[in-house]
Amino acid sequence: MFTVIIKYIFYIGLFVLAAIGSMVFRRRKNRAEEELASLKNYFQTVEATLNSVRYGNLAKKIDMDLYPDYSALTRTINRMIETLNDREQMLYESQTELRNQNKFLQASINSLSDGIAIIDHEGTIINASNNMYRWFDVDVIRGKNILEFINLLDDVNLFDLNNHEISIKSNVELSFLADCNKLELEDRKERYVLVLKNISDQKEIETLKEDFVATLTHDLKVPIIAESNMLDLLLSDKFGEISDKQRVALNNMKASNNELIDLVQTVLETYKVNSAGLSIYPELFDLNTFLTEIIEEMQPIALHTENKINLDINDEIFITADITHLRRVIKNLIHNAISYGSACTDIDIKAFQTDDKITITVKDYGKGISKDDIKKIFQKYYSTAKKFRKTGTGLGLFLSQQIIKAHNGTLEVQSEPDKYTEFCIIIPKQ
């Protein structure tokens, strides 16, 4: 009987334990399900918040009171959103400042009288000022090549433009000077700034000035030549015998008159070059005889400064050129050597030939020419005469270069200050 009671109690205990275990299991299961549901809701809230932030709503945050069990993570996420909001505000302010600076820069560029374009290494236009749109007479410029709109008048590369004259295809009557400079950028991309300066008005004024000077000079030429003829008559004793002192005075007047004739002729020839181009009439002649005659003509002028003109030409050279124009070039170079070289020094003239060209050099040993002046001496009206308290029109070297160019040749210069200056004429053989 006792054994049966014990067994009964044992089974009751097992039943109670099973019931308690089942109850505990159900409670834990319900709690786990509640926690899982809460965690799922939290993750959904986090996902929704992050998606709002992703699409730009940085004011969205997670309510701390809704999920107290995840307060630490909620606080971290909200802090990250606040940081993003602060950085976006800073970025917005920086972008606004950059936009304002860009507008100011664009407005400043557009206010300039020059036209400005930014191009890449292929000449494609990246940006341009309003003047470019106006001059090119188009609505769209960006993405197009600059050579679609301009003509390079000289044989020069687009990226080597340095104060070169160009024209615009849409309006060839306008004249422009162009400069192209490489931009030094941190991204190492090849970018260039092209600047166009409208010189149409200046050229028109220059043309009017040249017309006036040419007219005036032409009118002066007649009385100057008449004076020269009268001096020749006096020197030839046509009006009676003259004394030695009178002869010296008349010869000095004759020399000055010749210089004045050369000056007038230079101005007139320059005007012809500008208005109608330079016409040359080549013929074959002996260069040795030609240079010897010029030296004999210039030697009396050189005696005033005690300069000696030397000629070094070993070969028998025949050259095909315009005698009158080439004589003007050689005389101008010798006259410059006398004027700007040192007194009591030599002036060396050399001539030699190769298979395809003939070279003539004129070298003096005087003050020389600075590097800055060398870049400008062939420009019209540019003269270094004032530096040496001398007179000059600034047309001699310009005209000389145009004459040599008309012969398909080149006129070059080398100089070292206070040592020497050497001009070199190179003419191809024909």
Q: Write the secondary structure of 293-346 as one string of H (helix), E (strand) and C (coil).
A: HHHHHHHHHHHCCCCEEEEECCCCCEEEECHHHHHHHHHHHHHHHHHHCCCCCE
Answer for the pair 335, 298: CB distance below 8 angstroms, yes or no. Answer: yes
pLDDT, one tens digit per residue, over 152-169 is 876 788 998 988 888 888
- Residue 173: helix, strand or coil by DSSP? strand
The confidence band for 272, taking pLDDT boundaries of 50, 70 and 90, is low
* Domain residue spans of the chain: 2-88, 112-198, 204-276, 283-428
Q: Judge if 112-198 and 283-428 fold alike in CATH terms.
A: no
| Token couple for 81 | 């959103």
Mean pLDDT (the chain) is 81
CATH fold group of domain 112-198: Beta-Lactamase (3.30.450)
Residue 378 and residue 394: Cα distance in Å, rounded? 8
Residue 301 and residue 308: Cα distance in Å, rounded? 10
Which pLDDT belongs to residue 5?
46
Supply φ then ψ for residue 411, to 5 degrees.
Answer: -120, 115
First to last CA, the chain: 149
pLDDT, one tens digit per residue, over 65-89 is 777 877 887 788 788 888 888 888 8
pLDDT at 206 over 90: no
Which pLDDT belongs to residue 304?
83
pLDDT, one tens digit per residue, over 85-127 is 888 888 888 888 888 777 776 777 677 778 889 999 899 999 8
**Contact partners, residue 52, CB within 8 Å, separation at least 6:** 60
Q: Higher pLDDT residue, 155 or 364? A: 364
Which pLDDT belongs to residue 363?
95
The confidence band for 425, taking pLDDT boundaries of 50, 70 and 90, is very high
Which pLDDT belongs to residue 321?
94
Which pLDDT belongs to residue 275?
58
pLDDT at 367 over 70: yes
pLDDT at 385 over 60: no
Angle between helices 71-111 and 2-54 (to 10 degrees): 10
Which pLDDT belongs to residue 196?
92
pLDDT, one tens digit per residue, over 7-41 is 444 444 454 445 455 555 555 656 667 667 777 77
The confidence band for 276, taking pLDDT boundaries of 50, 70 and 90, is low
Residue 386 and residue 124: Cα distance in Å, rounded? 45
Report the amino acid identity of residue 349.
Answer: I
Q: CA dihedral in degrees (221, 225, 231, 234; nearest 10)? A: -140
CATH code for the part of the protein at 283-428: 3.30.565.10
pLDDT at 353 over 90: yes
Percentage above 90 pLDDT, the chain: 23
The radius of gyration of the chain's CA atoms, rounded to the nearest angstrom, is 46
The answer to whether the predicted template modeling score (pTM) of the entire model surpasses 0.85 is no
Residue 217 and residue 267: Cα distance in Å, rounded? 7
Which of 50-54, 80-84, 195-199, 396-400 is the least confident region? 50-54
Residue 212 and residue 214: Cα distance in Å, rounded? 5
Mean pLDDT of 359-375: 89
- Hey, CA dihedral for 246, 249, 255, 260, is it positive or negative? negative
Which pLDDT belongs to residue 207?
76
pLDDT, one tens digit per residue, over 297-311 is 888 888 888 999 999
DSSP state letter for 115: E
pLDDT, one tens digit per residue, over 193-203 is 999 999 888 88
